[in-house]
Amino acid sequence: MSKLKGLGGERKKKVLAKLGEFGKAIVQDFERGIPPRLKIPSRGTSNIVYDERHRYYVLGPAYGIRSAASMTQVKKLAQTLCVADFCRQLVNSGKFATLREMYYTAEGWETGPFYDQEESNILVEDLEAIFGLKREDLGLMPEEDGAAVFGEIVLKEDNSVIDATKAGRGGYTIPPTIDEVEFVKCKAKRVIAIETMGMYHRFVQERAWKRFNALIVGLKGQAARATRRFIKRVNEELGLPVYLFTDGDPFGFHIAMVIISGSAKLAYINHELAVPDAKYIGVTASDITNYKLPTDKLRELDVARLKQLQKDPRYNTEFWQREIKKMIELGKKAEQQAFAKYGLEYVVKEYLPAKLREVEGEKFINP
């Protein structure tokens, strides 16, 4: 396979161009004697719409104005510009900072410090929405650890070439800076993303990556943005189909759907994260009865959440409506680990091959 390029250089140019245009617009307002103002896309629920064509949430046309002409807004406008300049310096230098570090850096800004970190985080989200970029593109990253991937893919991170099958028992840790990573070589034919790290390690132990010729991705619960971006990249750049294996409960369904269709909260960057063609192969209500799985009783919270999902446009398909309705009728939920009833190897040797045959049909080669 020929060398697969990363997107780091191109993205850096794009980010710097957007930041440059942003700064020029402010300077031009000053030169014209006009109080600088920013148009900030509204992230309120009334401006978040489900895009049927792209199959994920996007922002609508509504926006707010932040203007230096308003005494109540001038400080926030100035802080927004300071955040943008801080990001420009980071991108220019090729360095990264955590959101927490930026919050403390602001203590030395002439605008004065933020009241709390939530206030500074919101301004970062404002810039993401204005530019249609992720905070990682702006040189900012969260504090959380990355998830992991195991399988036959070779990556180049900085000056290191890493084989994900030789990166230790835990596999390759997906960094927040995943867009800076190059895909050098990949022999895998599919991606299987798994909700729990316990099940991820089971798949690694049972060599599921080899059996299914797959990249096995451990999500660590609700997937971090870097994990979702990695899955998006291997899907688009390497053409790998994506399969999602989560618990059979409303929160497992939600974890899978956020990868498929994005979240309402991140409607302004779902185009960078959502994988609309990803398929769910996790535990369903039908599996609970067909496999006679050990279960837990649905709590009131679970039932309420399932009823919310029934009304969510992302779940408006025959499959999801049927399985959600059946789960409510059963009053039961089941975890991925429930298949251990039949032995530790059962989920890899029996359940997953059956699920993959369902979604891939004749293309699936029985391992």
The confidence score (pLDDT) of residue 9 equals 74
- Same domain flag for 133 and 186: no
Going residue by residue through the chain, which has 367 residues, state the pLDDT in tens, using 9 for 90 and above: 333 444 457 788 889 999 999 999 999 999 999 999 999 999 999 999 999 999 999 999 999 999 988 888 999 999 999 999 999 999 998 888 999 999 999 988 988 788 899 999 999 999 999 999 999 999 998 776 668 999 999 999 988 999 999 987 889 999 988 998 999 999 999 999 999 998 999 999 999 999 999 999 999 999 999 999 999 999 999 999 999 999 999 999 999 999 999 999 999 999 999 999 999 999 999 999 999 999 999 999 999 999 999 999 999 999 999 999 999 999 999 999 999 999 889 999 999 999 999 888 866 665 5
| Domain extent at residue 296 | 148-363
The confidence score (pLDDT) of residue 8 equals 58
Closest of 226, 245, 223 to residue 234, by C-alpha: 226
Number of domains in the chain: 2
- Same domain flag for 161 and 106: no
Q: In the listed set 83, 116, 141, which residue is the last one of a domain according to the structure?
A: 141
**66, amino acid identity:** R
The confidence score (pLDDT) of residue 95 equals 86
Examine residue 316 and state whether it is found in any structural domain, yes or no.
Answer: yes
Pairing of strands 332-333, 296-297: antiparallel
Examine residue 66 and state whether it is found in any structural domain, yes or no.
Answer: yes
Q: In the listed set 92, 113, 141, which residue is the last one of a domain according to the structure?
A: 141
Q: In the listed set 114, 141, 168, which residue is the last one of a domain according to the structure?
A: 141
- Same domain flag for 268 and 124: no
- Which residues does the annotation mark as catalytic? 104
The domain that holds 133 is classified in CATH as 1.10.10.10
- Same domain flag for 94 and 214: no
- Same domain flag for 289 and 358: yes
In the three-class reduction of DSSP (H, G, I as helix; E, B as strand; rest coil), residue 312 is classed as coil
In the three-class reduction of DSSP (H, G, I as helix; E, B as strand; rest coil), residue 296 is classed as strand
- Same domain flag for 279 and 227: yes
Examine residue 1 and state whether it is found in any structural domain, yes or no.
Answer: no
Closest of 15, 67, 348 to residue 209, by C-alpha: 348
Q: For 315, phi and psi rounded to 5 degrees? A: -100, 15
